[in-house]
Amino acid sequence: MTIGGPIKFINLADRRDIVPVVAKWYYDQWGTTQPENSYAITLTKVETQLNKDRVPLHMLAIQNEMAVGVAQLKMQEMKTYPEDTFWLGGVFVPPEVRGQGVGALLVREMIRIAKSFGVPKLYLQTEQFDGGIYAKSGFTPVERVVYKGIDILVMEMKLK
């Protein structure tokens, strides 16, 4: 499916009707790898992270009134990093619209939001060892580690 028209960004807190969709995306993409997780747990977690003016928050990419992606700004993604670290996470674009630049636009929007909050450094974790869209957006590798049984690359971007 090719998308058309401009993409706008809307805080998920302003489109609570899309929360179940986001929870399903997250659960289907990452949640099934954790035996103690369920769709209901994922839904509850997303519902508790619907802030507008502080972390954690989710931003939707909307095109033609349809959600075409989501990303999250959050604290303390990995317990092996300092408690006060900010993370870009949950960047998800449905398979039918991937490859059309939505993910890169979401990453840029989340960097903009992090800067507006005064975040000095933003981290993320990815299973793409070349950094993919994150490297193209200016993130640099920190280390490759096994976290929760998954081989990942931790990346960072200095914002100040």
pLDDT at 104 over 90: yes
Whether 86 maps to a domain, the answer reads yes
Mean pLDDT of 87-97: 95
pLDDT for 160 equals 83
pTM over 0.85: yes
Whether 154 maps to a domain, the answer reads no
Q: pLDDT band for position 2 (50/70/90)? A: low
Whether 141 maps to a domain, the answer reads no
pLDDT for 147 equals 85
Of 6, 103, 87, 90, the C-alpha closest to 46 is 90
Q: What percent of the chain has pLDDT over 90?
A: 80
Mean pLDDT of 50-77: 94
Whether 88 maps to a domain, the answer reads yes
Q: If residue 121 lies in a helix (H) or strand (E), which one and from where to where? A: strand 121-126
Mean pLDDT of 93-103: 94
d(CA 74, CA 119): 11
Total of domains in the chain: 1
Residue 69's domain comprises: 7-118
Whether 2 maps to a domain, the answer reads no
> By the 8 A CB rule, do 68 and 25 touch?
no
Q: What CATH number should be reported for the domain holding residue 18?
A: 3.40.630.30
Whether 128 maps to a domain, the answer reads no
Whether 95 maps to a domain, the answer reads yes
List, for residues 118-155, the tens digit of each pLDDT value.
999 999 999 999 999 999 999 999 999 998 788 999 99
Whether 70 maps to a domain, the answer reads yes
pLDDT at 1 over 60: no
